[in-house]
Amino acid sequence: MIKSKSKPTKRDTILKTNSSPDHIDVDTLKTLLGQNSDCDYNINGEALRLLAQDVNYRLRYVMQ
């Protein structure tokens, strides 16, 4: 069976372009977590901002 190449998703594109990001914005994080697509859960906006802030802190630490 021959499979056709599927179009890369927004998530795949973000992961490729941000392979070593020093900053992740809230929209990118939402996309990576699946919030910008159909999903059964919802993340509070403030909790998402805190998570993005934590991820950014950890990335800066790792990138040093």
Domain ranges of the chain: 23-63
What per-residue confidence (pLDDT) applies to 1? Answer: 47
Q: Are 35 and 43 in contact (CB under 8 A)?
A: yes
What per-residue confidence (pLDDT) applies to 49? Answer: 77
What per-residue confidence (pLDDT) applies to 23? Answer: 66
Q: What is the pLDDT of residues 7-62, one digit of tens each?
A: 666 666 665 655 555 666 777 777 776 655 555 455 666 777 778 888 888 777 77
If one compares 23 and 1, the residue with the highest pLDDT of the two is 23
Spatial distance between the Cα atoms of 24 and 28, rounded to a whole number of angstroms: 6
Long-range contacts of 51-55 (CB under 8 A, 24+ apart): 52/24, 52/25, 52/26, 55/24, 55/29
In the numeric block, the tokens 């950014």 are attached to: 56
